[in-house]
Amino acid sequence: MTCMETLKSVLQSIEQSGQIKADGLQHLTKNETEIVNTLFHENLVSEALVFLEEMDTDAEWHLFMERTMVSKKQKFPFWRPVLKYAAIFVGVIMLGYMMLRQNTSVDELPITESTIKLKMGEDNVKLIQEGDSQQIVSSSGKVLGVQTGNRISYNTDSEIKDLVYNELEIPYGKIFQVELSDGTLVYLNSGTKIKYPVKFLNIGKREVFIEGEAYFKVAKDKNHPFVVHSDQVVVEVLGTEFNFSSYKEEAEIKTVLVEGSVSMSSLLRPQDQLVLVPGSKGAWNKSSNKINKENVDVDLYTGWLKGELVFRNMSFSDMTKKLERSYNVVIENNNELLNGKILNARFHVDIESIEDVMKSIGELHSFRYTIKDRKITID
């Protein structure tokens, strides 16, 4: 059986069964296996079979593969001269685009302040666009997971035997989700960084590191506690839902428990460990190094999941920090009197614009402001 016939046979098997079988790939080269995986995950198996039917000889297939490798290195598509029909061109150009993106370095794509970045190594940064669907592939070619829209989901059965970390950075003005390899779902608020293993090992604790704000729905695993690290604070759970906030510019690191049970402690004063119950908040003060607990209205701390910004008895200076993150703006306040005003308000980022917010606050406490691009100046 020729190389092209072998590939056809594999694709036909996939089209019939709807899945990739490992034994069917054993006669393919590494490059052919990569293409098969991409075709399968992009639902292009049928188009590929039509494309192969139009090839007359194995020599054409080898030429196709050679040019594929050149295209990946030189970063330009060669597809149009090879293809005979427009309909086939559409399918294969999608494949070429996927292959091109997997091999494009961060320096060749535009990076802006609103870019979501996935760091997969010191020299490997993948730029994430929320509307995309793509595989998350390690530098060694292993498929770690998949991005679908505004969520990245990591595989539970990836062939990872060592503790390898990825780091996801969410810019101002955006919210994103990541499903970890154990099934834990993490909602990431604007201006947040999280570092986590691409696969939790079957020993020890499940540990992640965060700066910013996130809502955790932790998958239960009594043998492997889930631990969140930030600065000097450690939060440990077995399976629960809680909100965690640790922005650099804020005076406290806060945990608000929605469901289950968590313990919160400080590395500086481990004897001050708190055990939270649903509806309570634990907060570590960065100046005093003390932890305190109080009962709270959970909705005030989790409204951001629905796009809501809820302010209760909050100074305007503290409000501006949240507004900057949620609306991706810079607020320069030259009105010292306004800074200390205590306000109560509720906004929705998908309904009210930042100008609507400024107008609403201005109705309570009169002040002048200008908006230019993404900068707001208050006089």
pLDDT at 179 over 70: yes
Q: For 252-271, what is each residue's pLDDT tens digit?
A: 999 999 999 999 999 888 88
pLDDT at 73 over 50: no
Q: Are 352 and 308 in contact (CB under 8 A)?
A: no
* Residue-level pLDDT at 271: 86
* Residue-level pLDDT at 169: 96
Mean pLDDT of all residues in 138-146: 85
* Residue-level pLDDT at 172: 95
d(CA 10, CA 243): 47
Mean pLDDT of all residues in 223-247: 94
d(CA 170, CA 191): 5
Question: 28 by DSSP, 3-state: which?
Answer: coil
Q: pLDDT band for position 52 (50/70/90)?
A: low
pLDDT at 46 over 80: no
Mean pLDDT of all residues in 103-110: 47
Read off the DSSP letter of residue 218: P
* Residue-level pLDDT at 81: 35
Q: For 4-14, what is each residue's pLDDT tens digit?
A: 678 778 878 87
d(CA 57, CA 28): 17
* Residue-level pLDDT at 269: 86
pLDDT at 144 over 80: yes
Q: Cα torsion for 303, 309, 312, 317, to the nearest 10°? A: 140
pLDDT at 93 over 90: no
* Residue-level pLDDT at 77: 36
d(CA 81, CA 76): 13
d(CA 325, CA 336): 21
Q: pLDDT band for position 25 (50/70/90)?
A: confident
Mean pLDDT of all residues in 62-78: 44
Any alpha helices (H) in 18-85, and if so which ranges? 30-41, 45-53, 58-74, 79-82
More confident: 116 or 20: 116
d(CA 275, CA 136): 37
* Residue-level pLDDT at 263: 95
Q: Are 182 and 154 in contact (CB under 8 A)?
A: no
Q: For 342-355, what is each residue's pLDDT tens digit?
A: 999 999 999 999 99
d(CA 344, CA 351): 18
* Residue-level pLDDT at 83: 32
Q: Are 188 and 304 in contact (CB under 8 A)?
A: no
Segment (H or E) for 301: helix 299-302
All domains of the chain in start order, with CATH = 3-102 (no CATH), 111-299 (2.60.120.1440), 307-378 (3.55.50.30)
Mean pLDDT of all residues in 101-117: 60
Q: For 146-167, what is each residue's pLDDT tens digit?
A: 999 999 999 988 778 888 899 9
Residue 340: Cβ within 10 Å count? 9
More confident: 83 or 42: 42
More confident: 311 or 3: 311
More confident: 253 or 90: 253
Q: Considering Cα of 92, then 127, then 207, then 302, what sign does the dihedral take? A: negative
Average pLDDT, the chain: 82
The region, left, alpha or beta by phi > 0 then psi within -120 to 50, assigned to residue 328 is left
Residue 187: Cβ within 10 Å count? 20
Q: pLDDT band for position 87 (50/70/90)?
A: very low
Going by C-alpha positions, the residue among 297, 252, 272, 279 that lies closest to residue 263 is 272
Lowest mean pLDDT among 80-89, 129-138, 139-148, 174-183: 80-89
* Residue-level pLDDT at 89: 36
pLDDT at 357 over 80: yes
Q: pLDDT band for position 76 (50/70/90)?
A: very low
Is the pTM higher than 0.85? The answer reads: no
